[in-house]
């Protein structure tokens, strides 16, 4: 059974232990902690305990059009949890309306806590062997220019023309936050490729989360990912291992304008039932 509680009333409900049963629809390390620690708080919760629970709850505001927090029994708990129609509506709408968009405010800072939440969503992607292959480098401020210089020097050494060099030099300045997302190397060839698939799925999680937070995002590749003569020096500058594989660079920022209209995608779907 799905119930709801006003976020404004949540601290008092936590204190009294009457928050109710169930878990929170939004995932993530801190919100998951809210369901474990705050639904059944100690008899005399400490100030730190209450602060942690209230902070986690407040982070859910942007996922709802109102200030109501929806609760239900956890997914996967013996098949007892049935997501509400509103959950489907919210998730499907964010996925369908997400667009790649680099038309962002380059000066507006994104809070570290938001970036951390998005990375947390990424690492919850399916990971067959539970190898935890995610390697993420958050590039902000002057580091964007420094990494761009490394990429520019690398392509110049490969004989790139002036325009190509300048493109590499300025690419990391297109957004206030750039995430270099890489997959850790695994000696097992099957795990190696599955690691890359997991990290790719994680990037999609991250982009969906960014859209839900009102951020624009774009997943990019380029020479700094594909060309080993460029990716090598860039990985070194980022502190990644030479054996790590960069899966993409994710640009994040607050949008200035909406992205263009995207034609409805299609897929070839085959059903076999016998």
Answer for the pair 122, 200: CB distance below 8 angstroms, yes or no.
no
Q: What is the tens place of the pLDDT at every residue in 120-136?
A: 999 999 999 999 999 99
Sheet holding 216-220, edge to edge: 134-140, 177-183, 245-253, 216-220
CATH number corresponding to 112-253? 3.40.109.10
Q: What's the start-to-end Cα distance of the chain, in Å?
A: 37
What does pLDDT average to over the chain?
A: 82
Say whether pLDDT at 232 is over 50: yes
* Per-residue model confidence (pLDDT) at position 51: 63
Structure tokens at 203: 């990037």
Q: What is the tens place of the pLDDT at every residue in 141-191?
A: 999 999 999 999 999 999 999 999 999 999 999 999 999 999 999 999 999
**pLDDT > 70 fraction of the chain, expressed in percent and rounded:** 69
Answer for the pair 172, 225: CB distance below 8 angstroms, yes or no.
no
CATH 3.40.109.10 intervals, the chain? 112-253
Say whether pLDDT at 60 is over 60: no
Q: pLDDT confidence of 79, banded at 50, 70, 90?
A: low
* Per-residue model confidence (pLDDT) at position 16: 58
Residue count of the chain: 274
Answer for the pair 245, 182: CB distance below 8 angstroms, yes or no.
yes
Q: Where are the alpha helices (DSSP H) in the chain?
A: 10-16, 29-33, 47-58, 85-97, 112-122, 142-157, 162-170, 189-212, 223-226, 228-238
Answer for the pair 81, 1: CB distance below 8 angstroms, yes or no.
no
Q: pLDDT confidence of 259, banded at 50, 70, 90?
A: confident
Distance of CA 141 to the CA centre of its chain: 20
């Amino acid at each position: 059974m799905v119930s709801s509680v006003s976020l404004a009333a949540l601290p008092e409900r936590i204190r009294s232990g009457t928050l109710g049963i169930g878990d929170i629809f939004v995932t993530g390390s801190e919100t998951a902690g809210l369901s474990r620690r705050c639904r059944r708080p100690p008899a005399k919760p400490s100030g730190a305990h209450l602060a942690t629970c209230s902070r986690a709850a407040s982070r859910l505001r942007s996922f709802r059009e109102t200030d109501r927090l929806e609760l239900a029994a956890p997914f996967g708990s013996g098949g007892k949890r049935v997501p509400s129609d509103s959950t489907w509506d919210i998730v499907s709408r964010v996925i369908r309306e997400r667009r790649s968009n680099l038309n962002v405010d380059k000066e507006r800072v994104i809070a570290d806590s938001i970036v951390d939440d998005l990375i947390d969503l990424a690492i919850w992607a399916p990971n067959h062997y539970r190898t935890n292959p995610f390697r993420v480098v958050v590039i902000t401020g002057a580091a964007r220019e420094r990494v761009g210089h490394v990429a520019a020097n690398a392509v110049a050494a490969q004989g790139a023309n002036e325009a190509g060099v300048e493109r590499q030099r300025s690419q990391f300045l297109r957004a206030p936050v750039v995430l270099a997302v890489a997959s850790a190397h695994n000696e097992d060839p099957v795990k190696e490729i599955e690691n890359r698939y997991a990290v790719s799925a994680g990037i999609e999680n991250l982009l969906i989360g960014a859209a839900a937070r009102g951020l624009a995002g774009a997943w990019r590749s380029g020479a700094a990912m594909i060309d080993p003569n460029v990716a090598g020096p860039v990985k070194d500058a980022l502190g990644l291992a030479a054996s790590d594989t960069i899966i993409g660079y994710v640009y994040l920022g607050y949008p200035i304008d909406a992205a263009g209209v995207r034609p409805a995608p299609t897929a070839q779907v085959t059903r076999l039932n016998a």
